[in-house]
Amino acid sequence: MDKLDEIRTRLDACDDEIIELLTRRMGIIEEIIEYKKESGTPILQPKQEQKQEEALEQKLDGQRYEEEIKDIFRYIVSNSKRIQAKNLFNHNILLIGFMGCGKSTVSSFLCKMLAMDSVEMDAVIVEREGMSINDIFAKYGEEYFRNLETNLLIELSHKNQLVVSCGGGAALREINVQHMKNNGRVVLLTATPETILERVKDNDDRPLLRGNKNVEFIGDLMEKRRAKYEAAADIVISTDHKSVLEICQEMIGKLMEMDA
């Protein structure tokens, strides 16, 4: 065996050890999630995550391959989160509710915590059409926009473990709700008209609220939509005066209950 072969043999043995260690590590991740589920411990623990990151920083501080190893750990942690998500949900999560109820905020937080992929329906439509929601409404009308929503929901129902932030009107069509439920749980986020106004007041992306940013209009439209939203929902979460962590925690708890 020449020198290079001998070195490569050692590298190979090293890879075997890494595989063994990663398998063990992922097994431990499964153990943690199982324990949390059984004991009712909150699934999302951002503080613990922070602590772990700091501990890793310390361990690697001044290490010869500090940057490279940190980079690898980012992947390890992200994949651990994926394992947790897979253990928790075998379906999509669709967030519905009135404009400004917090769908996008909740979606991005949950996706960050559980390394799930997120889909912002409005953003996908804007990108594909190459124009803003306001322009789509103005140029082709609301019905055209609603059809785009329906087609996108059909497409998403063939995927799994996505968090979908639905446009505020998406759940109003019966057929859309059927596509949502095809491979997903529907979560309705609610808020009072006052909270909604506070959240949307500085944003001009919503054609239906243009010139209508007041509690009366929001309250009326919300009331008109309430029955359809509620009929579509598998679970309902009120978001008033709650942090995004609290909302996500409550949602995961209710989704787990549903699957139990």
Cβ nearer to ligand S3P, comparing 85 with 156: 156
CB of 103 to ligand S3P, least distance (A): 6
* Residue written as token pair 């750990």: 73
Total number of residues binding ligand S3P (CB under 6 A)?
A: 10
Largest CA distance in the chain: 83
* Residue written as token pair 């942090």: 243
Examine residue 94 and tell whether it contacts ligand S3P (CB under 6 A): no
Give the span between the Cα atoms of 35 and 81, in whole angstroms. 15
Give the span between the Cα atoms of 130 and 138, in whole angstroms. 14
Stretch that binds ligand S3P, among 10-18, 203-211, 212-220, 231-239 (CB under 6 A): 203-211
Structure tokens at 183: 């491979």
Instruction: State how far Cα 256 lies from the chain centre.
Output: 16
Question: Cα-flanking dihedrals φ and ψ of residue 85, to 5°?
Answer: -60, -40
Examine residue 133 and tell whether it contacts ligand S3P (CB under 6 A): yes
Examine residue 124 and tell whether it contacts ligand S3P (CB under 6 A): no
Examine residue 122 and tell whether it contacts ligand S3P (CB under 6 A): yes
CA angle 53, 58, 60 (to 5 degrees): 95
Examine residue 193 and tell whether it contacts ligand S3P (CB under 6 A): no
Instruction: State how far Cα 243 lies from the chain centre.
Output: 15
Examine residue 208 and tell whether it contacts ligand S3P (CB under 6 A): yes
Question: Cα-flanking dihedrals φ and ψ of residue 47, to 5°?
Answer: -70, -40
Q: Contacting ligand S3P (CB under 6 A), which of 95, 99, 188, 248?
A: 99
Examine residue 36 and tell whether it contacts ligand S3P (CB under 6 A): no
Examine residue 164 and tell whether it contacts ligand S3P (CB under 6 A): no
Write the interaction track for ligand S3P spanning residues 41-80; mark x where CB under 6 A is met and - where it is not: ----------------------------------------
